[in-house]
Amino acid sequence: MTKFTKLLAASILGSAMLSACQPASETKTPVQDVAKKVTKKAQSTDWKYVGEYGAANWGTMSDKFSTCATGKLQSPFNITADISADLPALGLNYNAVPMKVINNGHTIQADQTGGGQLVVDGTTYNLLQFHFHAGSEYTIDGKSYPLEVHLVHASDAGALAVVGVMFEKGAPNAELEKIWANMPATKGENVVAGQTIDVNKLLPANKQYYRFMGSLTTPPCSEGVNWHMMSTPITASQAQLDAFTAIYPMNARPLQDENNRLVVLGR
Ligand SMILES: [Zn+2]
């Protein structure tokens, strides 16, 4: 938890306790004042990547998104290794699941309920979904990529972990081909009977990774996310890259400040 969120939590807790403890007649005026201020401020959670509700304004368009502006461990940023270390091998215990491809209005996402676990540092995170960004959100040593996939996981305790993989232009990816063939062009979901998705086929053979702390790259930009970015890209064909950008030409949050956080590269 950052200092800011601690302060925010303390202040929310404080005001809740205050109104709970005070007689109704005494709380009426301050509560009404606060309500007025909240309704005056423009509130929208219908975020986009550009324009009035674009990434530059996420932090102010809704009180729920304030971390997007005030956070100090925001993602993405330009990844450069601060140190190399013997990081633990990632336990990538994934299995194929029935195909369910979702266009959620921000990206193409594959549901991965029952898709297995990431085990790292003794913590087990269940795979929930993976989704794509074009171009890449992170850059590695200043280099951007045409496409990036994020494998999103949560532990039973609610901790989040993401495994990121970059795509560069090259040979087509067979798993991507299956997903692309079934992705809805507009908002909606497509459950495909008799077909499965295997996330193992979206991982590079070389499992070396960068480890660092960061955030969700979409509102509410929650922090405390354990990031694992593969240092080796996989490939997608130009036609595959074009098929995604025909639906989402640009769905990447701009680079955020690294703020001196530690980036460790496995040996
Ligand atoms: Zn993402």
CATH number where 168 lies: 3.10.200.10
How many whole angstroms from 211 Cα to the centroid of ligand 1? 16
CA of 131 relative to ligand 1 center, distance in Å: 6
Residue 51 lies inside a defined structural domain of this protein: no
Q: Are 69 and 215 in contact (CB under 8 A)?
A: no
Is 206 part of a structural domain of the chain? yes
Look-up: residue for tokens 């423009």?
42
> Residue 244 corresponds to which tokens in the numbers above?
């995604």
Do 153 and 22 have their domain in common?
A: no
What is the token pair recorded at 215?
Answer: 């955030």
Contact of 108 with 260, CB cutoff 8 Å: no
Mark whether 34 and 78 lie in a shared domain. Answer: no
130/238 Cα distance (integer angstroms): 21
Alpha helix positions (H), 22-158: 24-40, 58-61, 67-70
Query: Strand, helix or coil at 71?
Result: coil
pLDDT at 28: 39
Q: How far apart are alpha carbons 103 and 108 in whole angstroms?
A: 5
Splitting the chain (267 residues) into consecutive groups of 10 residues, what average pLDDT does each group show?
Answer: 39 34 38 47 86 96 97 98 97 98 98 98 97 98 98 98 98 98 97 96 98 98 98 98 98 97 96
Q: Are residues 137 and 14 in the same domain?
A: no
Q: Where are the alpha helices (DSSP H) in the chain?
A: 3-21, 24-40, 58-61, 67-70, 174-180, 238-245
Same domain, yes or no, for 93 and 177? yes
Active-site pick, 106, 133, 150, 228: 106
The alpha carbon of 81 and the centre of ligand 1 are apart by a number of angstroms equal to 21
Together in a domain, 15 and 89? no
Q: How far is the CA of 98 from the centre of ligand 1 (A)?
A: 21
Same domain? For 21 and 91 the reply is no
How many domains does one find in the chain?
2
- Could you give the count of Cα atoms lying within 13 Å of 52 in the half-sphere of its Cβ? 5
What is the reported pLDDT for 148?
98
> Distance, CA 181 to ligand 1 centroid (Å)?
21
Tell whether 252 and 154 lie within a shared domain. Answer: yes
Same domain flag for 96 and 193: yes
Distance (angstroms) between ligand 1 centre and the Cα of 16 equals 34
Q: Per the domain annotation, does 63 fall within a domain? A: no
Is 106 an annotated catalytic residue? yes
Specify the pLDDT at position 17: 33
CA of 217 to the centre of ligand 1 (A): 6
- Whether 60 is covered by a domain: the verdict is no
In a domain, 196, yes or no: yes
Residue 66 belongs to some domain of the structure: no
Residue 16's domain comprises: 3-40
10 is a domain residue: yes
Note whether 221 and 104 are same-domain residues: yes
Cα 159 to Cα 51, 75, 138, 162, distances in angstroms: 32, 16, 21, 10
What pLDDT is attached to residue 118? 98
Residues 143 and 260 in one domain: yes
**Cα separation, 111 vs 122, whole angstroms:** 25
Quote the pTM value: 0.84
Instruction: Please check whether residue 248 lies inside any domain of the structure.
Output: yes
Instruction: Verify that 101 and 33 share a domain, yes or no.
Output: no
Contact 45/64 with Cβ under 8 angstroms? yes
Where do we find the tokens 């703020």?
259
Please indicate, yes or no, whether residues 22 and 140 belong to a single structural domain of this protein.
Answer: no
State the helix-helix crossing angle for 3-21 and 24-40, rounded to 10 degrees. Answer: 140
